[in-house]
Amino acid sequence: DTEVTQTPKHLVMGMTNKKSLKCEQHMGHRAMYWYKQKAKKPPELMFVYSYEKLSINESVPSRFSPECPNSSLLNLHLHALQPEDSALYLCASSQVPGPAYGYTFGSGTRLTVV
């Protein structure tokens, strides 16, 4: 298995809703990442988990809450989002923490906040 699987593929939520994005990989990768991407722009780093511990938080608002239950799973809990949070949310993983060997990205969750 050489994939990063993200669910759901599309999500529409109201500003008062609570929802979660899920990411899964079975490649034995020990680092996992959340990125946010606006249309035609490069991905922006949000969080990094290294050996299941949060190692980088890029000053992301607390309405985004990451969770890494085990080495294969990464969740992003969403609460009280704003319309400007609408974007493609990408999960990625790497064999070891750090960019030296490249990342494997999932297909993303297209989030629309109404």
Partner 1 sequence: TQLLEQSPQFLSIQEGENLTVYCNSSSVFSSLQWYRQEPGEGPVLLVTVVTGGEVKKLKRLTFQFGDARKDSSLHITAAQPGDTGLYLCAGDGGATNKLIFGTGTLLAVQP
- The tokens 């035609």 sit on which residue? 40
Under the criterion CB under 8 A, does residue 86 sit at the interface with partner 1?
A: no
- Nearest-approach distance from CB 78 to partner 1, in angstroms: 19
Cα–Cα distance for residue pair 7/41, rounded to 1 Å: 22
Stretch that binds partner 1, among 12-20, 42-50, 61-69, 77-85 (CB under 8 A): 42-50
- Nearest-approach distance from CB 39 to partner 1, in angstroms: 10
Question: What are the distances in angstroms from CA 4 to CA 18, 24, 62?
Answer: 24, 6, 25
The tokens describing 88, both together, are: 């493609």
Report residue 112 CA to chain centroid gap.
15
Among 11, 46, 85, 97, binds partner 1 (CB under 8 A): 97
Of 64 and 103, which CB lies nearer to partner 1 in the complex structure? 103
Sign (positive or negative) of CA dihedral 64, 24, 72, 104: negative
Instruction: Point out which residues bind partner 1 (CB under 8 A).
Output: 4, 40-43, 45, 48, 55-56, 90, 92, 97-108, 110
